[in-house]
Amino acid sequence: MGTFLYFAFGSNLLKERLRIENPSAVFKGIAKLQGYKFHFSWTNQETSSEEATWKGCAANITADPSSHVWGSLWELKDEDRPSLDRQEWGYNPITVTVCDDKGATYTCLTYQMKGEPTGETLPSPQYKDIILRGAKQSMLPSEYIKFIEAFPDNKNTTPVDIYNQLVKLLT
């Protein structure tokens, strides 16, 4: 059975989140995706799985030649690809080239939200917290972590089941 590389930039930065559905995931390091911008958004599609699961808008990347996105590079077994696609059902799989912190380049899979983004909107504090925990766990650059921290959230106070499950795993 083969493997594939996956570039995570949202909640799957956190090892425990990714491994819930994809147990073969092995962290390979951090990487930078040049020519894309990280943001939180809705789309003109029906509510995505991330939006429903996390009670707010979801992380997305869109083309922007003057920007870059930091994330974590994972190696997964091919047998985990269907579960990763199911987890990311509100996103289209795309192939991108990323560069690690030593300058090596890799062709890998990532996901981009389906439909046209309808503007910048707010994530739930729980979703943003998991992304930040993953960014710190992956040891993304401190300036990039501050960039994510600066996004406001929607102040959601209703329970977020996946968040509660992950917090239990982390304690």
Q: Where are the domains of the chain?
A: 3-170
pLDDT at 49: 53
Does residue 171 carry a pLDDT above 90? no
Tell whether the model's pLDDT for residue 12 goes beyond 80.
yes
Q: Which fold has domain 3-170?
A: Hypothetical upf0131 protein ytfp (3.10.490)
pLDDT tens string 27-81 = 999 999 999 999 998 765 555 555 578 888 889 999 999 999 999 999 999 999 9
Binding site per annotation, positions for substrate: 6-11, 127
88 has catalytic annotation: yes
Contact 3, 119 (CB under 8 A): no
Of residues 169 and 140, the one with the higher pLDDT is 140
What pLDDT, on the 0 to 100 scale, is given for residue 48?
Answer: 52
Per-residue pLDDT band for 119 (boundaries 50, 70, 90) equals: low
pLDDT of residue 166: 94
Q: To the nearest whole percent, how much of the chain has pLDDT over 70?
A: 92
Q: Please, which residues have CB within 8 angstroms of residue 111's CB and are 6 or more apart in sequence?
A: 88, 91, 92, 93, 94
Which is catalytic among the residues 88, 116, 120, 143?
A: 88
Residue 144 host element (H or E): helix 142-149
Q: What is the mean pLDDT of residues 83-87?
A: 93
Q: Which two tokens stand for residue 46?
A: 């029906």
Q: What is the rounded radius of gyration, in angstroms, for the C-alpha atoms of the chain?
A: 15
* Closest to 107 in 3D by CA, of 16, 7, 37, 17: 7
How many Cβ atoms sit within 10 Å of the Cβ of residue 105? 10
Task: List the binding residues.
Answer: 6-11, 127
| pTM of structure | 0.92
Round the average pLDDT of the chain to a whole number and report it.
92
In this predicted structure, what is the pLDDT of residue 120?
61
